[in-house]
Structure 1
Amino acid sequence: MFLTRFTIDPARRGARKLLASPQAMHAAVRAAFAAPDDHERPGARTLWRLDTTVGGSIQLYLVSPGRPDLTHLVDQAGGATAEAWTTRAYDGLLASLHSGQRWAFRLTANPTHSGRKTAESKDTQRFGRLRAAEQTQWLVDRSARCGFGVATQQDGQPNLMLHRRQTLTFNRGMHKVTLTTVTYDGVLEVTDADAFRQALTLGIGHAKAYGCGLLTIAPAH
């Protein structure tokens, strides 16, 4: 597994096109892998996320089974930096995980629930959770099966900050796709190392092709 960071220059026309459409970004990420096994393997798949830094730059993060080649993205949307992207081995971190560890984390996700559009509808579909309290509870409920627990603060509330709460609409072929997304920053504790590794390599929730599901961790201070 590999972890990659790529800097996007939002002033470039190609970058603006990619940033406006998760479908276009998905295609650009897919094009970074020559072999299908480098993009997706049993127990691991390519995940991506866009982060905006305090200084306003935009970072594309990838976790992937194979090493990506992002030359085409440099030509289309890259910044004028000496190092267009960095890729590091991820397996060492995955192997070091064990229960009881505490990590700071970031996750952009598509919190949803299933239901019927009308009382007369026979089929169920997914609906985005729109309220902050519901979005928080979605992650708290899901965390146990993903091998971690969200840490609590002194007041007993989850140690979480929600930001970039938005609803995205974009075209996928002849159809419109609408996604509710939210970015979570917080602190977690590993409860099941194997399940946690799976969450890191397979993602959390739905809409993984469109920039959701990638959980990244850093030392918690």
Structure 2
Amino acid sequence: MSLYFSRLTLNPDPSTRALAQLLNPRDESKKVDAHHRLVWTVFSDGTARQRDFLWRYDGKGRFFTLSARPPKAHDLFLPPESKAFEPDLRRGDRLIYTLRANATRDRRGARSKNRRVDVVMDLLHAVPKKDRSTARMKMAQTAAEAWMARQGALKGFAPVETIADGYSTLQLGHRRREGATFGVLDLTGEIEVTDPALFLPALAQGFGRAKAWGCGLMLIRRAG
């Protein structure tokens, strides 16, 4: 399957800047929703289209995407900068990465039913409420290391270094039943490729959940 890596830069002309509060709200939850809709403008070609792309916002008016189709031109963006995504990866290659991930795992619940839990919040539940704010990033680091190890075992890489740079929660929808709350881990570090045949499809599929909301795209470059 052909893949395209693209950079989309918001158009700096006055007509786009006039929409700044709509396209890039200050509230983080509203921002994720606005960006979700914004990125769809260059990939949607009909009501039946299913998402076949990953995306991430860089905080500087730019979006990075990995997609099965090149993005279309749109007045809200400068012309897309796209290239074929064809990394030549071998076993033992080391890569520096950044990843924004909604990291979850299945936990057995009552009556032997599994339920999906956020890996950071799952650890924080064992910490007294008065101590959670100070323990937050320590738990995020512990959870991130374990989650990346599990991901790597299934998807053809081994973590060399995992750094949790941040952890936040986002709320989609004003009421619980209208939306969802999910956790976001911002990760950087280094990995070693153990099985390119597994790792390359995993890059295309993305890591973790909430991929429609800007999570899951691993940006890589060679170490050294």
Question: Which residue does 2:21 correspond to in 1?
Answer: 13
CA distance in 1, matches of 2:63, 2:38: 11
Supply the AA of the counterpart residue of 2:38: A
Supply the AA of the counterpart residue of 2:156: G
CA distance in 2, matches of 1:121, 1:50: 41
Q: Is the 8 A contact 1:23 1:171 kept in 2?
A: no
Supply the AA of the counterpart residue of 1:129: V
Task: Establish whether residue 29 from structure 1 lines up as the match of residue 74 from structure 2.
Answer: no
Please give the TM-score of this superposition, normalised by the length of structure 2.
0.74
Structure with greater proportional strand content: 1
1:145: Cα distance to partner? Answer: 0.9
1:105: Cα distance to partner? Answer: 0.8
Aligned length: 192
CA distance in 2, matches of 1:203, 1:73: 26
Q: Is the 8 A contact 1:40 1:65 kept in 2?
A: no
Q: Is the 8 A contact 2:157 2:193 kept in 1?
A: yes
Question: Which residue does 1:150 correspond to in 2?
Answer: 159
Supply the AA of the counterpart residue of 1:99: R
Percent sequence identity over aligned pairs: 27
CA distance 1:40–1:194, change in 2 (3 Å): farther
Task: Establish whether residue 140 from structure 1 lines up as the match of residue 135 from structure 2.
Answer: no
Task: Establish whether residue 196 from structure 1 lines up as the match of residue 215 from structure 2.
Answer: no
Q: Is the 8 A contact 2:23 2:34 kept in 1?
A: no
Please give the TM-score of this superposition, normalised by the length of structure 1.
0.75
Task: Establish whether residue 51 from structure 1 lines up as the match of residue 58 from structure 2.
Answer: yes
- After superposition, give the CA deviation of every residue in 1:160-215 in whole Å (9 maximum; x if it has no partner): 22123101112289612111011111111111111111111111111111111111
- After superposition, give the CA deviation of every residue in 1:18-49 in whole Å (9 maximum; x if it has no partner): 9634333223222312547xx769xxx30011
Residue number among 159, 162, 181 corresponding to 1:160 in the alignment: 162
CA distance 1:121–1:170, change in 2 (3 Å): farther
Query: Gaps (5+ residues) in structure 2?
Result: 121-138
Q: Is the 8 A contact 1:166 1:181 kept in 2?
A: yes
Structure with greater proportional helix content: 2
Task: Establish whether residue 129 from structure 1 lines up as the match of residue 139 from structure 2.
Answer: no
Q: Is the 8 A contact 1:23 1:172 kept in 2?
A: no
Alignment of 1:74-153 (within 5 A): 74=77, 85-90=80-85, 92-93=86-87, 96-115=88-107, 124-130=114-120, 131-132=139-140, 133-151=142-160
CA distance 1:142–1:85, change in 2 (3 Å): same
- After superposition, give the CA deviation of every residue in 1:32-79 in whole Å (9 maximum; x if it has no partner): 12547xx769xxx30011223xxxx243110000010251432xxxxx
Q: Is the 8 A contact 2:6 2:65 kept in 1?
A: yes
CA distance in 1, matches of 2:150, 2:112: 27
